[in-house]
Structure 1
């Protein structure tokens, strides 16, 4: 008989129900008592069999408050399925205030289920029967949050028009997001326009991460939806978190700098890896600078050709201890001295800065500047080497060996120049990328102050 009762509830066969009740008036009670899941009333409510449900409720009215394994009343199920006539009947047959506020195992009342499923007519009935059901929270989410998560703009519009005060519209979830934050996250253009045009939603509210809806939008892809949402937010006065507080986050700017300058080296963006990269960079610069300083010092104190060991009555520069190059090739000696001195001073500058322990040395931009100084030192020592080779060349074959040496050194210097130029261009691009947003922020702040 229990099997026949469930079959009749599935079919909505009122005649079979009456026959079963005549044979056993307690059959529904027995099934309800022994069942751990849906009762025949739940099944009939799910399928929308109005007459079958009415027949059971008239005979057993207390069953409308019987829950299934998910702690759902028949009203929960009828609301979720959108059976308007059944919902209206339940509300007239039971204590509507208690049933409308009843929560299932997920903490949702019948209004929550109807709203997330987009059952607008059912939502109207439930709100009219018990307005407080719309204020019930599901953990930290309001019914508006749930509607945004399930993309139900029509339900949102009705709820806001019915009881859309400032506090209700701007309620936040456990992450500090209001409904506009969530709508931007899910790129719901219709919902965003609805909120911006017809509500008092705070367009510059910050969540627990300090992000406004504009900040969240900037984190997504720059597609067509992005442009449409951006126009809507700007028209409503939305700005990034830095502008809403009239301040610029230096930490965020520095993080963007690190990412822009370090990412081409394929270094992960975690602080630990970034610090390790800086330490390795500093150690490498220190070692190379020390070697170049040693070579430059050796070249300056021991020029090619050595020193005169005797006197010359006709040459004032031909004295013991004077460099031979001063007499034999004075112009070449000046170039040699300039190149070796530039390399020596450049390397000493790098060593001095690295051992000073100044705090700004931890910034990646300073490390790039030190690298440029290192390139200057290396280039200077390359020219010093070339001049030394040309001085040492035998006079009978100066062209053959000198041409090869000159070609190799200048070829290498050309390659080095290309690398330096490419890095300078890249540095300029990074600076522009960092400067343009700051200029845009300043312009937005100026416009806002202008219209105050």
Structure 2
């Protein structure tokens, strides 16, 4: 049993960094530090870490078990150093027991989570110097270290972690909310702008209640006046960026279409309409298309259209799989044009096939089919163009702010615009 006076003397030495007293006590009893516990089940190393006494931690470096001891909150000395922000102490404790970097306290947080919550960037730099894995661990309700930084208003720590933890940028917590949702809920307006402009977070992402960050922001700011709505001009984003954001969905749809067309063209090539000859004769060989003998002129049109459909489909597939269109408008236009050529060509091929298998159909009607395909294609393009013009005109004239917000160019533009209005009409920095 250690006398109370010795316990207090040891406590004061650890608290005040009194190396001489600590050396004297250890000389009398080398096991003293392992036998003494203070309030909340804390040992001498907990006390030294709490008061930032690096010299005491250095003296106790051969007592590595002290760095692994847990207090009543399941906190190691490294947890305490991470919260206090003493880099030198944290570095020495980490070298004594590196495995404690992963250990969690009663709040399910490891030292990296504690440092993020407290905004200690220098501590984070030291803790993550060799391995970023502890920062990838989730905490209560599936939140990440980025969620913690936003919740506790530590932008410096957030800016430090963001480029190092790319996998967590779009991560959702147990409520389905990204860091963008949380930034909106915590009214971090300047941070919202940074997130939309600097990261790949999709503003259309919905939480478990089916709400986007934009919807949450509109609900939290019901007092935005009609005059302010006039200020909601979408921030200009380069067209290539918009195309890059739209391209994944566009490419998936295009890929399905062109693969189907390529399959149809290939099938038509090996099984032409009317079938193939089954035996050799003086006029043909087995395997030749019957259509080539019965409708030679129409067969030439069929082969040309079918080959065009197949080749243009292959070109489109090649462009999409190499991902060239996602950043270059030129390649995207080529892939779209190739898809349209595939659609038109397979339509002509279909028309030629119908003429062969349907009785009393004249070859000249193929010209009519080509004209119909061209007219319909141009009509669809014209309709889309007219729709966009009318839509833009309507958005300029609408006065209802919910309608306007929901119909501006993109969710990202709208979110940025609303944040810009609130920042300009509010005295608060966030």
TM-score when normalising by structure 1 = 0.49
C-alpha spacing 1:206/1:16, structure 2 compared with 1 (3 Å)? same
Q: Secondary structure at the match of 2:173?
A: coil
Task: Give the structure 2 partner of residue 130 of structure 1.
Answer: 131
Cα distance in 2, alignment partners of residues 28 and 21 from structure 1: 8
Query: Alpha carbon RMSD of aligned pairs, Å?
Result: 3.4
C-alpha spacing 1:208/1:16, structure 2 compared with 1 (3 Å)? same
Q: 2:73 matched to 1:70? A: yes
Query: Equivalences for 1:274-423 in 2 at 5 Å?
Result: none
Q: Secondary structure at the match of 2:161?
A: helix
Cα distance in 1, alignment partners of residues 411 and 39 from structure 2: 69
Cα distance in 1, alignment partners of residues 71 and 236 from structure 2: 49
Cα distance in 1, alignment partners of residues 116 and 194 from structure 2: 17
Q: 2:211 matched to 1:211? A: yes
Of structures 1 and 2, the one with the larger relative CO (CA 8 A, separation 6+) is 2
Task: Write out per-residue CA displacement over residues 239-275 of structure 1, whole angstroms, 9 at most, x where no aligned residue.
Answer: xxxxxxxxxxxxxxxxxxxxxxxxxxxxxxxxxxxxx
Q: Secondary structure at the match of 1:57?
A: coil
Task: Give the structure 2 partner of residue 106 of structure 1.
Answer: 107
Q: Name the structure where helix makes up a greater proportion of residues.
A: 1
Assess if the C-alpha contact under 8 Å between 1:193 and 1:232 holds in 2: no
Q: CA deviation at 1:129?
A: 2.9
Task: Write out per-residue CA displacement over residues 286-326 of structure 1, whole angstroms, 9 at most, x where no aligned residue.
Answer: xxxxxxxxxxxxxxxxxxxxxxxxxxxxxxxxxxxxxxxxx
Q: CA deviation at 1:443?
A: 5.9
Task: Give the structure 2 partner of residue 21 of structure 1.
Answer: 26
Query: Equivalences for 1:247-266 in 2 at 5 Å?
Result: none
Q: Secondary structure at the match of 1:105?
A: coil
Task: Write out per-residue CA displacement over residues 184-236 of structure 1, whole angstroms, 9 at most, x where no aligned residue.
Answer: 11111232222122221222211111111110111123579xx79x9699667
Cα distance in 2, alignment partners of residues 52 and 447 from structure 1: 53
Q: 2:56 matched to 1:52? A: yes
Structure 1 unaligned segments of length 5 or more: list them: 239-432
Task: Give the structure 1 partner of residue 170 of structure 2.
Answer: 170
Query: Equivalences for 1:25-36 in 2 at 5 Å?
Result: 25-32=30-37, 36=40
Assess if the C-alpha contact under 8 Å between 1:112 and 1:143 holds in 2: yes
Q: Secondary structure at the match of 2:20?
A: helix
Cα distance in 2, alignment partners of residues 233 and 52 from structure 1: 58
Task: Give the structure 1 partner of residue 15 of structure 2.
Answer: 10
Task: Give the structure 1 partner of residue 338 of structure 2.
Answer: none
Cα distance in 1, alignment partners of residues 401 and 71 from structure 2: 60
How many pairs align? 247
Assess if the C-alpha contact under 8 Å between 1:72 and 1:104 holds in 2: yes
TM-score when normalising by structure 2 = 0.52
Task: Give the structure 1 partner of residue 91 of structure 2.
Answer: 88
Task: Give the structure 2 partner of residue 39 of structure 1.
Answer: 43
C-alpha spacing 1:35/1:188, structure 2 compared with 1 (3 Å)? closer
Task: Give the structure 2 partner of residue 153 of structure 1.
Answer: 155
- Greater Rg by CA: 1
Assess if the C-alpha contact under 8 Å between 1:79 and 1:113 holds in 2: yes
